[in-house]
Structure 1
Amino acid sequence: MKRWFLVTMAAATLAGCGLLPEKIDETRSWNAQKLYSEARAAMDDGDYQRAAELLEKLESRYPFGRYAQQAQIETAYAYYKQGEPELALAAIERFLRLHPDHPNLDYMLYLKGLILFNEDRSLFAALGNQDMSERDPKAAKESLEVFLELLRRFPESKYAEDAEARVIYLRNSLARHELHVARYYLKRGAYLAAANRAKVVVTDYSDTPLVEDALWLMREAYDRLGLTDLKTDAERVLQLNFPDSDYLKYGERRSKDEKPWWQFW
C-alpha cells in the first residue's frame, strides 16, 4: 500500500511539473477537408462516436467554412445512430435556429420526427406486443407535429411519402391511446371522463378506424349517466356512419382484424 501511494504521488508530481507527455491530438494539423473526410469514413465504418467527435472539431475550428453547415447536419445524424437522441435533437434544434432557410431543412425536420417517433416506439416494445396506446403519448404528439410541418412546408420532399405514412400510424396510435384511457375510465365508473376521452377520437381523429369503437363507448357512457339524448345522438351517428357495425347488431365488436393495426409499421 505504501509503495502504491509513493508511485501515485510521484506520478502526480511529474504531471504537475509537466514532465509526463501530454496526449497528442492527431487532428491538430488537419484542415477542414481532412476532418470531414475522416468523419465520413468513420460513419461508413459505423464508428459514430468518432464521427461526431471529428465533426464537432470541424465546426469549432472552421465555423464559417464550407463544411461547417454540413458538419452540423451530420453531427445530428451521428448522434442519432450512436443512440444519443437528446444530443441529436439538440443539434437539430440548433441547426433549425441558425439556418431556417437551408436547402436541407426538410431532411432535418424528417430526422427530428424520426428520432421522436423511435423514442415512442422501440423494437423491444413491438416484439413484446406492448401497445403504444398504453404509454405516455408526448413523443408521439411531438413526432406527429414535426411530420405535419414537413408535409406542409415541403410537400414535394423526397421524405414526404414516408412522413405521410408515419402520420397515419401516429394518428392511429394517438386515437387508440385516447380510447384506451376512455375504457379505463368506463371500467372504473368515471363515465363522464370516459365519454369525453372517446369524444376526442371522434373529433380529433375522425380519419382513423377507431371512430366506430369510440362512438359506441360514448353511447355506453351516456347510457350509464342516464343522459338519454346524448346516448341517442351517439347511437344515431354510429348508425349513420357504420350501418353494419357489430355494436349495433350484438352490442360488441365480434369481427377482428387478422393483424393488430399497430403491427403494420
Structure 2
Amino acid sequence: MQVKHLLLIAILALTAACSSKQAEVDENLSEVELYQQAQADLDNRSYTQAIAKLKALESRYPFGRYAEQAQLELIFAYYKNAEPEAAKSSAERFIRLHPQHANVDYAYYLKGLASFDQDRGLLARFLPLDMTKRDPGAARDSYNEFAQLTSRYPTSRYAPDAKQRMIYLRNLLAAYEVHVAHYYLTRQAYVAAANRGRYVVENFQETPSVGDGLAIMTEAYQRLSMDDLAATSLETLKLNYPDHPSLENGQFVPLEEEADNRSWLAKATLGLIETETPLPPGETRASQDVIRQYEDAAQQIPRELQQDAKTGETEKKRSIWSYLTFGLFD
C-alpha cells in the first residue's frame, strides 16, 4: 500500500471522528427555524449538524407540520453521512409508521442505497478492492430491498434506477459464487465446487457468470470421474459459450492442475520411492481413512456379537466336532 493511501485513510478517519460529535441545538428555536436551519445544513453538506437539528425537530414537535418530512430527510442525512445502519433503521421506522405515505417509496429507495454502499466504505472507495470477493451480505440485502421497491411501486420515479442497480448486484452475487467454487476446486472439494457451479447456472441466468459455472461443473465432474455429467456440462458450455476461456480449439482446459497426492518422499525422489499407492479415480485420502476406521472398528466387535451380513442373526460359536463334520451335525 502506498504512503499516500495511508495518509488519506488517516485524514478521513480523523475527519470522521471529529464529525461524529453531536452538534448542540438551541432550545429556543421554533419548529420553522429548526427545519430551515436543517435544510441549510443539508445544502451545505453539514450532515452531522443537519442530523442533530432533524432529530431535535422530531422530538420537540412530534405532531408538527414538518415531523414526517423531517423523518424522511433524517434517512437521507444518515445515508450521506456514511451511517448506513442508522439510515436503514430510520427507513424501517418510517415505513412502519407511515406505510401509506405518498413518499414511502423514497424510504425504500434510501434503504436499498444504504445497503448498496455499505460495503463501499472508505477503503473500498480509494483502494482497488475486488467487490466480488467480499462478503455479499450487504449486496444481497440491497438487492432484496430494491426488489421490494420495484414490486410494490413499479411506477415510482426511483424504480428505473433500482432496476439497474439490481442487475449490477445480481452479477456481483453470481461472481461471488464463482469465486467460492474456484476456492473449492483448489481445495479438491469437487462435490462442493460442482454444487456451487450448478447453483450459479440455475439461479443466475443471463449473468456473465453462467459460463463460469458450467466450466466449474465440467472440471469438478471430471475430477470425480462422473463422465456423463461432465460431458453434459461440457456440451452445454460449448453450445452457449463457445468463446469461453476454458475452451481452446473446442477442447476443455481445466482451470486447476490435477492435484499431486503423493507423499513428500515420493515427490522428493521423483517417484523412485513410493510410500503409498496412487488413489483410484474419485477417491481421496480422507475417504480411505474413513473406510479404514470402519474396518478397524468392525474387527474390534466381539465374535459372539457379530452378525451375519445376509441373515442378520448373531453368529453362533461352533464346536470342534462341527468343524470336523463341516457343520453336518450342528
Q: What TM-score, normalized to structure 1? A: 0.81
Q: Which moved more, 1:32-41 or 1:138-147?
A: 32-41
Say if 1:246 and 1:77 are closer, same or farther in 2 by CA, change over 3 A.
closer
Q: Which moved more, 1:212-221 or 1:113-122?
A: 113-122
Q: Which has the larger radius of gyration?
A: 2
Number of matched pairs = 229
1:116-131 superposed matches below 5 A: 116-122=115-121, 124-125=123-124, 127-131=126-130
Structure 1 counterpart of 2:186:
187
Following TM superposition, by how much is the alpha carbon of 1:102 offset from its aligned partner in structure 2, in angstroms?
Answer: 1.2
Q: Deviations along 1:50-77, whole A, 9 cap, x unmatched?
A: 1111111111111112210100011111
1:12-23 superposed matches below 5 A: none
Following TM superposition, by how much is the alpha carbon of 1:243 offset from its aligned partner in structure 2, in angstroms?
Answer: 4.0
Following TM superposition, by how much is the alpha carbon of 1:246 offset from its aligned partner in structure 2, in angstroms?
Answer: 4.5
Consecutive unaligned residues in structure 1, runs of 5 or more: 1-24, 254-265
Following TM superposition, by how much is the alpha carbon of 1:94 offset from its aligned partner in structure 2, in angstroms?
Answer: 0.8
1:126-205 superposed matches below 5 A: 127-205=126-204
1:33-112 superposed matches below 5 A: 33-112=32-111
2:28 match: secondary structure = coil
Supply the distance in 1 between the matched residues of 2:39 and 2:114 (Cα, whole angstroms).
21
RCO higher in 1 or 2 (8 Å CA, sep ≥ 6)?
1
Following TM superposition, by how much is the alpha carbon of 1:29 offset from its aligned partner in structure 2, in angstroms?
Answer: 2.8
Supply the distance in 2 between the matched residues of 1:232 and 1:68 (Cα, whole angstroms).
64
Q: Percent identity?
A: 49
Structure 2 counterpart of 1:30:
29
Following TM superposition, by how much is the alpha carbon of 1:191 offset from its aligned partner in structure 2, in angstroms?
Answer: 0.2
Q: Deviations along 1:209-262, whole A, 9 cap, x unmatched?
A: 111111011010011011112112212222332245453425359xxxxxxxxx
1:36 match: secondary structure = helix
Supply the distance in 1 between the matched residues of 2:199 and 2:91 (Cα, whole angstroms).
32
Following TM superposition, by how much is the alpha carbon of 1:27 offset from its aligned partner in structure 2, in angstroms?
Answer: 3.0
2:246 match: secondary structure = helix
Following TM superposition, by how much is the alpha carbon of 1:78 offset from its aligned partner in structure 2, in angstroms?
Answer: 1.1
Supply the distance in 1 between the matched residues of 2:155 and 2:25 (Cα, whole angstroms).
43
Supply the distance in 1 between the matched residues of 2:29 and 2:197 (Cα, whole angstroms).
60
User: Going by fraction, where is helix more abundant, 1 or 2?
Assistant: 1
Supply the distance in 2 between the matched residues of 1:94 and 1:183 (Cα, whole angstroms).
41
Which amino acid in 1 is paired with 2:230?
K
Structure 1 counterpart of 2:314:
none
Structure 2 counterpart of 1:251:
252
Following TM superposition, by how much is the alpha carbon of 1:140 offset from its aligned partner in structure 2, in angstroms?
Answer: 0.5
Asked if residue 216 in structure 1 is aligned to residue 218 in structure 2, the reply is no
Structure 1 counterpart of 2:290:
none
Supply the distance in 1 between the matched residues of 2:234 and 2:115 (Cα, whole angstroms).
37
